[in-house]
Structure 1
Amino acid sequence: MDAVVKKEIQAAHPRAAIVTTCILAALAGLMFGLDIGVISGATQFIQADFKVSDRTIEWIVSSMMAGAAMGALAAGWMSAALGRKRSLILAGVLFIAGSLFCAVAGSATILIVARFVLGLAIGVATFTAPLYLAEVAPEKIRGAMISTYQLMITTGILLAFLSDTAFSSSGNWRWMLGVIAVPGVLFLAGLFFLPDSPRWLLLRGRRQDAEVVLARLRGDEGAVRKEIDDIEEQLKTRQHGWSMFRENRNFRRSVGLGVLLQAMQQFTGMNVVMYYAPRIFKDMGYDTHAQMWFTAAVGLTNVLATLIAFAFVDRLGRKPILYAGFAIMAVGLGVVGTMMGLGINSRGEQFFTVGMLLLFIVGFAMSAGPLIWTLCSEVQPLQGRDFGIACSTFTNWVTNMIVGATFLTLLSGIGNAQTFWLYAALNGIFIGITLWLVPETKNVTLEQIERNLMSGKPLRKIGQ
C-alpha cells in the first residue's frame, strides 16, 4: 500500500465520511418519494386548469412510471459504463429539468412529456442509489443504510403531501410540481462531494483510486486491504444473467418469482392511494381543504408504519409479516368499498372510512412495501443477480404505470365500491400466493438459498 493511501488513512474521519456519503446517496430516495407524492395534490387543479378528462389525468400521472421503466432499463448499463456517481449526477440533472419543465408546461401533452423526463431520472436513481449504498457502506451498517434509503422514499412522499397542502389554498399546481426542484438542486450539489464506488473503480482497473476512496471511508489499513481483496474475489464471479435465463430452468423460476412479487406489490392498490388520495377523500364527502390534510395523514402513516418492518423483519421473518400485511390490506380496502357502497352520510362514517384507509396504509408499509424488495434480491443466484433484479425492477414500474393509468377509469366504469373490492380481493389472493410460492429467508444465507434453488427445490422451500 503506497504512501498516498497511508496519508489518506491518517487524515481520514471514517464515521463522518460514511454518514455524509450515505445520507447524500439516500437523498435519491427522497427525490423518488417527492415525485410520487407531488402529483397527488396537483391533479384536481391541473384538470380544472387544462379542462381535461380523467383519462388524460391518468396519462399525466402514469407517464412518470413509463419514464422510470425506461430509466431503470438503461441504468444498469449507465452505472457500469459511467459509474455510480456520474449516473446519479445525470439523474439529478434530469430531475431538476423535469421538475421545472412540469412547472411551466403550457398543455397537458407537454406536462406528460415533462413527467416522462422526471420518470427517467427516478428510474436511474432508484436503480443506482441502493447499488451505490451497498458498495460504499461498511458491512456492519449496510442494512441500516439501505433501510434509510427506503425510509427517505416515504419521507419524500410525506413532504410532497405537506407541500401540496400548503399550496392548495391558492390552487397553484405549478408551484406544487416545480418546488421539488429545490431538493433536487441540493442533491445534485452534494453529489459532487461523493467518492466513486470502490467496486466500480476496481471494475475499471483503477486499484489505487479504489484504495484511496476506501482509505477515506474506512480509516484502517487492514480493513482497506481486506475489502479490496474481497471485492476482487467477488469480481471473479461474472454476471451471466441472460445466458443463464435461456439455459437454466431454475434461474427462470427465481426471475419469475421476482417479477410476480413486484406485480403483487403494485396490485395491492397502494399507489392508487398515493396518486389519487385527494380524489378518494373527495368521494368520501370531504372538501378540498380536508382532502389535502387527510392526504398528508396518509403520508405520515406511511412513514411511521415503515418502521414496523425495520423492527420485526429479522425477528418474525418475511412470510408472517406478509400474511399479516395482505390480510390487513384486504380488510381495510374491503371495508372502504363497503362504506362507499352503502353511502357515507355522517361525520362518524367519514372518519371511520378514513381510518380503514389508513389501516390499509399500515398494512402495506409494514409488509409488501419494504419486504418485496428484500425478497427480490435474496432469491436471485449470484451470477444472475443483476439480471434478475433488473427484471423485477422493470416489472415494478410497468405494473405501477398500469395501476396509475386505470384507477379513474375503473371508478367511472364499475364504481367506487367495486373498485376497492377488486383490490381487496387481490390482496386476499396474494395471501394464497405467498403460502404457495414465497420462501421464508430469515436467517438463511444467500448461498444456501442459491443451492436450494439450483437443486430444484420448490420455490417456497428454497429458504429451508
Structure 2
Amino acid sequence: MTALHTGSGTLRTAPAPRPPALLYAVAAVSALGGLLFGYDTGIISSALLDLGRDLDLSTGAREVVVSAILVGAMAGAPVSGVLSARWGRRPVVVGVAGVFALGALASALAPSAGLLTVARLVLGLAVGAASNTVPVYIAETAPPALRGRLMVLFQLMVAIGQLVSYLVGYALAGPGGWRWMFALAAVPAVVLALGMLPLPESPRWLVDRGHPDRAREVLSRLRPAGADVAAEIADIAALHRAGTGGPRGLRATARVLRSRWLRPALLVALGIAAFSQLTGMNAMVYYAPSMLTDAGFGGSVALLTGVGIGVMLVLAGVTGALWVDRIGRRRLLLWLMPASGIAMAVLAVAFLAPEPAVQRWAVVLALFAYVFLNGAGIQSVVWLLAPEVLPLSVRGPATSLATATVWGFDLLIAVTALTAVQAFGLPATLLIYALMNLLCWVFVRRRVPETRGRTLEEIERSLRGDEA
C-alpha cells in the first residue's frame, strides 16, 4: 500500500499494484497437473468396486492395482527433477501432459488386470512428475506475497480432481463404467499441454542456466508495472555468482545434497512429505468406499460418502489457500494437526458404537471432519514447503527426493491399509493414523521454520547462515 497526499492535505492509501493476469495464468494452467493428479489417484476408489468384480480381483490384487500408480510416481518424481534441471520446468510439464493422456487411454482400453497395472504405472510417471515440477514452477514465478496461495492452488486442484473423480465414479458406476472413468482424464491432459505452450519459462531457472536477460524479460511480464525487476534478478544472480547455483551433473548434485548446511532443509522437506501420508489421508481417499461397504454401508451410500470426501477436500483446499499466506505455514500446521488426530481417533471409536444409526452418523461426521482438518493442514502445505526451503542449485533434484518420499509412503499406505484392517481391525488401524497426526505436530513444532512473506533467496541465505 502507498500513501498519497490529496488536495486537502489528508493522506489516502493507494492499493498496491495488481499482479498481471499472466502470473495467474501460469499458476492456473500449470495447476491443471494437480487436477489430473487428483483425478487419476482418486478415480481408483470408485472404479475399484466394479473393477474388482469385473476382473475378479482378490484383496491383494486390488492393492496392486491401486499401488501401481504410486510405484510409477516414485520413478516419475526423480526423473522429472533431473529433466527439469536440464531442460527447464515448462517443457517437462508439457511432456507430462502427454504421458497423462497416454496412460488414461491405456487404462481405459486395458483388457486384463496385468495390462491395467502397466497402464497405471505409466500414469504414475506423470503423477510423480507433475507433483514434483508444477510446485517448483509456480514457486519460481510467484512473488513472495502471493507465493503461498498460488502454490496451494496446486493442492486445491488436486482436491477438485478428486471430487470430480468421485462424482464421475458415482455417475458411471456399473459394469464396464470404470473404463469411461479412466478415459475421461485424457481431456484435461490435452488442455494442459496446449495451455502450457504460450507460458514463459521459470526466471530462476533461466538465471541458473546463464540467461539473465531472458529472465529479466520474463519477470517484467510476471510483475506489476513499476516493480523493481532488476533488483530481483540481481538478488537471484548474486546467489548464483556466490557459488550456490547450478551444480552440473549427477555427481555435483549429489555432493551438494550431502552438504551439512542443506540437511535441515532436507529434513523439513522429507519429514513433511512422509507425514502427509502417514497421517492417513490417502488411506481414506483410496479405500473409504471399500471400508464403509465392508462395515455394512450400502454401495451407493459408500460412493456418496466418497463424494462428500471430495467436497471436504475442496473446502480444505480453499481454506488452506486463504490461510497459508495470512497466518503462515507453520502456525497452520500447529493449529490443525492435533484437531485432525482427534477427529481420526473419534472415527476409530465410532466404528465400535453398538447402535447402527448412531454409528453411521458418527462415522460420516468424524470422517468429514478429519478430511477437512488434515486437508487444510498438511495436505495444503506438503507441496509448498519443499520448493520454498530447498535452494535453487538443487531445487529440482532435491524437491524430487521429497516428492518421491510422498509417493513412497503413499505406496506403503496403499499396500498395507486393507491388510492392516484385516489383521488388526479397522478401529486399531485408524488409531495408528491418529497417533501419526500428533507426531506430525511434534515434528512441526521442533523442526519446521516459517517461510511466509520471505523471498526464496532470503530463505536460502538463512539456511546457509546455519552452516557450521
Quickly name the TM-score band, shorter chain normalised.
0.7 to 0.9
Which residue type is aligned with residue 454 of structure 1?
E
Aligned counterpart, 2:407:
397
| TM-score relative to the length of structure 1 | 0.86
Distance in 2 (CA, whole Å) between partners of 1:20 and 1:442 is 22
Distance in 2 (CA, whole Å) between partners of 1:177 and 1:376 is 30
Structure 2 residue runs of 5 or longer lacking an equivalent are 1-17, 248-252
Which residue type is aligned with residue 54 of structure 1?
T
Superposed CA deviations along residues 347-370 of structure 1, whole A, max 9, x for unmatched, are 332022110011111220121112
**416, 424, 427: which is aligned to 1:414?**
424
Pairing 1:203-214 to 2, within 5 Å after superposition? 203-206=208-211, 209-210=214-215, 212-214=217-219
Distance in 2 (CA, whole Å) between partners of 1:138 and 1:441 is 13
**26, 29, 33: which is aligned to 2:34?**
29
Distance change in 2, residues 1:434/1:228 (3 Å)? closer
SS at match of 1:341: coil
Superposed CA deviations along residues 198-242 of structure 1, whole A, max 9, x for unmatched, are 444444545555455455545858755455444433433324553
Distance change in 2, residues 1:98/1:291 (3 Å)? same
Pairing 1:204-243 to 2, within 5 Å after superposition? 204-206=209-211, 209-210=214-215, 212-214=217-219, 216-218=221-223, 223=228, 225-236=230-241, 237-239=244-246, 242-243=254-255
Pairing 1:81-100 to 2, within 5 Å after superposition? 81-100=86-105
Distance change in 2, residues 1:213/1:68 (3 Å)? same
Distance in 2 (CA, whole Å) between partners of 1:314 and 1:221 is 23
CA shift, 1:90, in A, is 1.0
Distance in 2 (CA, whole Å) between partners of 1:438 and 1:22 is 25
Is the aligned partner of 1:154 residue 2:154? no
Distance in 1 (CA, whole Å) between partners of 2:328 and 2:217 is 39
Distance in 1 (CA, whole Å) between partners of 2:227 and 2:388 is 29
Is the aligned partner of 1:246 residue 2:258? yes
Is the aligned partner of 1:453 residue 2:466? yes
Aligned counterpart, 2:53:
48
Distance in 1 (CA, whole Å) between partners of 2:323 and 2:226 is 36
Distance change in 2, residues 1:307/1:108 (3 Å)? same
Comparing 429-438 with 414-423, which one deviates more in the overlay? 429-438
Distance in 2 (CA, whole Å) between partners of 1:280 and 1:412 is 11
Comparing 116-125 with 226-235, which one deviates more in the overlay? 226-235
Aligned counterpart, 2:270:
259
Distance change in 2, residues 1:295/1:117 (3 Å)? same
Q: Give yes or no for contact 2:152–2:317 (8 Å, CA) kept in 1.
A: no
Distance in 2 (CA, whole Å) between partners of 1:203 and 1:83 is 10
Distance change in 2, residues 1:257/1:216 (3 Å)? closer
Distance in 1 (CA, whole Å) between partners of 2:320 and 2:168 is 27
Is the aligned partner of 1:270 residue 2:281? yes
SS at match of 1:168: coil
Comparing 411-420 with 264-273, which one deviates more in the overlay? 411-420
| TM-score relative to the length of structure 2 | 0.85
Aligned counterpart, 2:64:
59
Q: Give yes or no for contact 2:351–2:359 (8 Å, CA) kept in 1.
A: no
RMSD over aligned Cα, in angstroms?
2.8
Aligned counterpart, 2:305:
294
Comparing 24-33 with 202-211, which one deviates more in the overlay? 202-211
Comparing 35-44 with 213-222, which one deviates more in the overlay? 213-222
Distance in 1 (CA, whole Å) between partners of 2:124 and 2:195 is 21
Distance in 2 (CA, whole Å) between partners of 1:316 and 1:450 is 22
CA shift, 1:71, in A, is 0.8
Q: Give yes or no for contact 2:84–2:396 (8 Å, CA) kept in 1.
A: no
SS at match of 1:33: helix
Distance in 2 (CA, whole Å) between partners of 1:342 and 1:349 is 5
